[in-house]
Amino acid sequence: MSKPTAFWDASALVPLCVQEATTPQVRQHLRDYPPVVWWGSVVEIHSAIARLHREAVIPSIERDGALARLALLAESWREILPDDALRSLATTLLDSYILRAADSLQLAAALIWSRQRPQGKIFLCADQRFSHAAKLAGFAVTQISLQPQ
């Protein structure tokens, strides 16, 4: 029997690349739920890693390791690719939920993945506002706690 997949927001994937307080919690979720992601997630995660490096939160060697972990992770996840239907849905979601453009694209990708039937589908996220929108859309949201467990 295969494991159930879950939709992973980019914010939930960053702790798999960069060591954070939530990394052990997120690793457990990864063991439980293979990720489905939006096609642009790799760019968002790379952006987070680059920002942490620019702000001197992580040194170059940790940035390089984080990018290598991102490349490995990206080999194993399933991506929801962009198309006109996804773009149209993402645009519609902006009128219904308080979302940034990238979050709207991710929520649209999650809805495409769930075939517009999100009830019971797991959605992992570390962003409180985005988690709220995903709950309102009908997903079973697992919010990554900012506090270690």
In 3D space, the residue among 107, 103, 104, 112 whose CA is nearest the CA of residue 83 turns out to be: 112
In 3D space, the residue among 100, 102, 103, 105 whose CA is nearest the CA of residue 85 turns out to be: 105
Q: What percent of the chain has pLDDT above 70?
A: 97
Looking at every residue in the chain, the average pLDDT score rounds to: 95
Is 109 a residue whose pLDDT tops 50?
A: yes
- Quick: pLDDT tens for 121-137: 999 999 999 999 999 99
Instruction: Give the mean pLDDT of 68-97.
Output: 98
Query: In whole angstroms, what is the distance from residue 13 CA to residue 3 CA?
Result: 18
- Quick: pLDDT tens for 10-64: 999 999 999 999 999 999 999 999 999 999 999 999 999 999 999 999 999 999 9
Q: What percent of the chain has pLDDT above 90?
A: 95
Q: Which CATH class is domain 6-143?
A: alpha beta
pLDDT of residue 147: 52
Task: Report yes or no on whether pTM surpasses 0.75.
Answer: yes
β-bridge mates for residue 103, sequence order: none
Spell out the domain ranges in the chain. 6-143
- For residue 4, give the DSSP letter: P
pLDDT of residue 2: 76
